[in-house]
Structure 1
Amino acid sequence: MTAHPAAPLSEHLRPVPSGPAEGVAPPVRPRTAWTADELMATEFPEPKWAVPGILAEGVNLLAGPPKVGKSWLSLGLGLAVAAGGKAFDSVPVEGGPVLYLALEDTPRRLQTRMGKLLGGQPAPKGLTLATACPPFPQGAEAVASWLERHPDARMVVIDVFAKMRGVSPPGASAYDADYAAVGHAKRLADHYGIAIVLVHHVRKAGSDDFLTEVSGTNGLAGAADATLVLKRARGQADGVLHVTGRDVDEAEYALAFQPASGAWQLLDGPALDHTIGDTRAVILRFVRDNPGARPKDIADSTGLEIGLARKTCARMADDCQLRRDVSGAYFAPGAEGQDTQA
């Protein structure tokens, strides 16, 4: 089929009128102040989830190093949410319209990626894709126009955020500029009660704290409602998704990438089980099921040589993958036990 020139985004996403149409009541402004007793007596709806437990309404900053698979992940999520399928091949999601701004891709590349991800299934009509959009603040009007036409929308993905962040305010510090850039998306997310995913990069230098790896100042993560960092992993997992936010519990999810389909799949169990070597994984699973185990217990039950079990347990304790108490017994991280050695 011959490709036809695409309509400009301004035509596809009609602008929102500056005021209410004739005969239409103006929108009710959300309340922003209460007395303490009024606030405690108010019943608020639960946050709306694009992906339960992982992506909630609000701004979600999804960061990762180049070529780690952020675009495959975000496009896969967009397809799953638009179709009402399963995110990560395992998490059921409520279906609804999704806007995916693929600002570094061509239509041909998007078609190829979707073909792999769909695996012969029909493409969902609820997914709108665009390869161009003006930067903020004009871009916010374009996104708002689409949201006005799709009041049941579930998610907006901006891939990548750098293409839409716009020009920094004159004289603003780097922190203030980053905070203001995310603020454009934040106002959209709050007004329409929708999850907005901003795909971003991480610094080249690694860190023990995944939040500090997000490229830019702390203003980006500070303005976002949630931050998700996709990192490469060792062991059985291809990646680990670190998640923290205001409405989401801090967690780590081990993921496997399927090259044939381009899909990221969620692996069962704690992420640590999939990101350590086979010997450590065997020991960790045994200790988790048998708190207070000693190297001899582990060796007798798993078939590991006693010297290897003793040496590996000690190294795992040094790496904070196990806890060792004063008597020499081992516990899984977070498990209750006796006082541990310093």
Structure 2
Amino acid sequence: MPTPPERRTRWTDAELMREEFPPPKWAVPGLLAEGLNLLAGAPKLGKSWLSLGFGADIANGDPVLGSIDVERGPVLYCALEDTGRRLQRRRRQMLAAGGRAAPLLTLETACPTMTAGGEQLLIDWLEENPHARLVIIDTYEKMRGSDAPGMSAYAGDYAAASRFKRLADHYSVPFLLIHHVRKQGAEDWQNLVSGTAGLTGAVDATLVLERGRGQADGVLHVTGRDVEEADYAMLFDAQAGAWTKLDGPASDHTVSNTRADILRLLREHGPLKPARIAEALQLVPNTVRQTCKRMQEAGQLQVDREGTYSAPE
């Protein structure tokens, strides 16, 4: 790797407060920042469609997920579990549905592991594309390389991810590693990522794509050092191979139609009692009372001492 630019690493407290740091570079504002990002999801859920969509949209400067404005620039998409024929079929499917050709998108289907020449391949592309906006590795496992003998699983995961992070930090380019989730599942989505905490501890942001409920085909969970923790409900258009973000809180789209109607009403009109909710939505009052109680128990609604319900902030 080229010699990194000289970077200050020590300040007095007063000096630190006077320092002016450049803002982080975003591939997708509010979602993918410079540094190392990890996207995990179950097989066949649409991770590769999502990441390919990121790449094509950013390479063209088109809105990501149908609504997030991005800056146009070169993107490298390493589709290491695909063939050229399969990638061509996917891109033709996207173009037939109204997508645009992406001259700034580079597609790669074969990379050595990071310890066997893969790092140099990424360096060469980054050197040739000084204005790169994103590097996608699909999948991380295909390129991570083997652990050193005697290394613990935690240390191995941390070291493997750190190889990508060094490049991301050196070139100030967002990297996105595509990964899998645990087969056994977990209550907390942050514990769904396959591997040890060494992997999630080494990355700057973790994104998990889960199968959706209600009106949403998927929910994208996001947390990280430079991103605010958030959940996004999304729809998947199988014909176009495209994910789009739904407006409003994810909880409005992942509940039943009745619960979604109650949430929308309370967000628009403010706190109401069940009788008023039933009247406004033309529903049976007893059904609304029971539904509101269950929603409150599930954390989907708040209730005061007088029995007035409101949507969570």
TM-score normalised by the shorter chain: which range applies? Answer: over 0.9
Does the CA-based 8 Å contact 2:4-2:170 persist in structure 1? no
- 2:64 matched to 1:87? yes
**Aligned partners of 2:201, 2:5: CA distance in 1, in Å?**
28
- 2:169 matched to 1:190? yes
**1:129-278 paired onto structure 2 within 5 Å:** 129-137=107-115, 138-278=117-257
Unaligned runs of 5+ in 2: none
**Aligned partners of 1:263, 1:250: CA distance in 2, in Å?**
23
**1:1-342 paired onto structure 2 within 5 Å:** 28-119=5-96, 121-137=99-115, 138-334=117-313
Moved more, 325-334 or 256-265: 325-334
1:172 Cα deviation from its structure 2 partner = 1.5
1:37 Cα deviation from its structure 2 partner = 1.6
**Aligned partners of 1:118, 1:55: CA distance in 2, in Å?**
24
- Aligned CA RMSD, in angstroms, stands at 1.4
Report the 3-state secondary structure (helix = DSSP H, G, I; strand = E; otherwise coil) of the residue aligned with 1:73: helix
**Aligned partners of 1:85, 1:291: CA distance in 2, in Å?**
36
**Aligned partners of 2:206, 2:59: CA distance in 1, in Å?**
22
Counterpart code for 2:101? A
Report the 3-state secondary structure (helix = DSSP H, G, I; strand = E; otherwise coil) of the residue aligned with 1:114: helix
Counterpart code for 1:53? G
Q: Between the two proteins, what is the percent identity of the paired residues?
A: 56
**Aligned partners of 1:27, 1:181: CA distance in 2, in Å?**
20
**Aligned partners of 2:35, 2:188: CA distance in 1, in Å?**
23
Moved more, 224-233 or 325-334: 325-334
**Aligned partners of 1:314, 1:89: CA distance in 2, in Å?**
35
1:293 Cα deviation from its structure 2 partner = 1.2
Moved more, 186-195 or 36-45: 36-45
**Aligned partners of 1:325, 1:115: CA distance in 2, in Å?**
54
Does the CA-based 8 Å contact 2:232-2:246 persist in structure 1? yes
1:122 Cα deviation from its structure 2 partner = 4.5
Does the CA-based 8 Å contact 2:61-2:72 persist in structure 1? yes
Superposition TM-score, scaled by structure 1 size: 0.88
**Aligned partners of 2:99, 2:216: CA distance in 1, in Å?**
27
Report the 3-state secondary structure (helix = DSSP H, G, I; strand = E; otherwise coil) of the residue aligned with 2:114: coil
**Aligned partners of 1:226, 1:280: CA distance in 2, in Å?**
31
1:205 Cα deviation from its structure 2 partner = 2.3
1:190 Cα deviation from its structure 2 partner = 0.3
**Aligned partners of 1:162, 1:55: CA distance in 2, in Å?**
20
**Aligned partners of 1:162, 1:199: CA distance in 2, in Å?**
8
1:27 Cα deviation from its structure 2 partner = 5.7
Does the CA-based 8 Å contact 2:80-2:109 persist in structure 1? yes
**Aligned partners of 1:169, 1:34: CA distance in 2, in Å?**
35
**Aligned partners of 1:58, 1:28: CA distance in 2, in Å?**
16
Superposition TM-score, scaled by structure 2 size: 0.96
1:268 Cα deviation from its structure 2 partner = 1.1
Deviations 1:4-26 (A, max 9, x none): xxxxxxxxxxxx7x7xxxxxxx7
The structure-2 alpha-carbon separation of the partners of 1:27 and 1:245, relative to structure 1 and needing over 3 Å to count, comes to closer
1:219 Cα deviation from its structure 2 partner = 1.1
**Aligned partners of 1:27, 1:167: CA distance in 2, in Å?**
26
Report the 3-state secondary structure (helix = DSSP H, G, I; strand = E; otherwise coil) of the residue aligned with 2:22: coil
Unaligned runs of 5+ in 1: 1-15, 19-25, 335-342
Counterpart code for 1:67? K
Moved more, 154-163 or 295-304: 295-304
Deviations 1:184-228 (A, max 9, x none): 110011000001000000012222311100001111111100000
Moved over 4 A (4+): none
1:124 Cα deviation from its structure 2 partner = 1.4
Larger Rg: 1
**Aligned partners of 1:132, 1:113: CA distance in 2, in Å?**
17
**Aligned partners of 1:321, 1:54: CA distance in 2, in Å?**
24
The number of equivalent residue pairs is 311
